Structure 1
């Protein structure tokens, strides 16, 4: 299903592309740090904006290099649990302007997918909180496969028999993964990072309509 559009599927990143959870998540992670008793430094939204998009093990290593790998895993698991509770209870709209409306509008002519380096359960929670469950056909993440973003992108492409997909993300790591996967990359410039090369640039999410030829 693409109805003459340039791409037969749109694969989305989450953090810095669909929504910005960093303020809420920082509070939740600091709660987990307090409970843990580990000598781990607290985090803030800016820390998380620099780290989000990396795989979970890399985030833990970057934030708490003084902890052992086992301690990092325990702490990160506790952080993710507190994060899930906080996001589930959140009543604020933390999506970027036009995201939900644009996805719903474009879903009438193309299919949407999500690939993220997040923990398992995060994509499902995002879809439920945004009301996008019925508008995303398939998704994959590091937490389910243990694989990096490039491999997970290729997995979704193959699983859904996409011939001309587009990936939308906001950081250089997303662009690098797309290059490895052989998938064009659209940069969500309103997100967390700077990107050197891209096939298209979104100043706001609704720019996606013009990019795909809607």
Structure 2
């Protein structure tokens, strides 16, 4: 295994509070329901489309709303932190020779801003998907450009849509429990590994 590709929000970055504030900021204009952290926790077992129905979110307006949300993220990036232990885990993997890549539907500029803010220098590349359900396309392009096969990659993420994208292109997946989606959602997609804290990622991959 050569490349470890990480999802960003909910996997590396503890950005839930900022996204809740952004969601609620635009709720009146786009006529969907505001939420709080209790709502996020209560809907961990729901898919993205189920959550949208629960809070009357207009999925057809997603391409219009998400750029505004990511702009809000950039303006409030100082309020976003990496989860505890993430920086050390990334540094440890890089020291063992793994190439660390981030793949997200968040804006590349936002990701690079937070990595710089947190002093992370172990990430070699940041990839973004312009479509929230388009990560499999980005992964296929990444494999083609780097001339690597799926068995040379591990994707680490927290959401159902991440593992579904990986399964489309046969890339093994590690699910982390501290993110958005609950295990009951991803279990049926057969993740290769499960981690409950960042140091477990290191333990699984390098035994320490």
2:103 to 115, 118, 128: 115
**Worse-superposed segment, 115-124 or 105-114:** 115-124
SS at match of 1:158: helix
Sort the Cα spacing of 1:8 and 1:43 in 2 relative to 1 into closer, same or farther, 3 A.
same
Deviation of 1:157 (Å): 2.6
**Distance (Å, rounded) in 2 between the aligned partners of 1:66 and 1:191:** 21
What corresponds to 2:128 in structure 1? 141
Q: Is residue 144 of structure 2 the alignment partner of residue 165 of structure 1?
A: no
In structure 1, list runs of 5 or more residues that go unmatched: 1-6
In structure 2, list runs of 5 or more residues that go unmatched: none
1:181 to 145, 169, 181: 169
Cα displacement string for residues 144-200 of structure 1 (whole angstroms, at most 9, x for unaligned residues):
x78711121222233233341111111222222111111111111232221211211
SS at match of 1:121: helix
Sort the Cα spacing of 1:156 and 1:138 in 2 relative to 1 into closer, same or farther, 3 A.
farther
CA contact (8 A) 1:8 1:110 kept: yes
What corresponds to 1:213 in structure 2? 206
CA contact (8 A) 1:28 1:86 kept: no
What corresponds to 2:84 in structure 1? 97
- TM-score normalised to structure 1 length: 0.74
1:28 to 22, 25, 30: 22
Sort the Cα spacing of 1:21 and 1:154 in 2 relative to 1 into closer, same or farther, 3 A.
same
CA contact (8 A) 1:169 1:187 kept: yes
- TM-score normalised to structure 2 length: 0.76
RMSD over aligned Cα atoms: 3.2
**Distance (Å, rounded) in 1 between the aligned partners of 2:164 and 2:75:** 32
Q: Is residue 13 of structure 2 the alignment partner of residue 13 of structure 1?
A: no
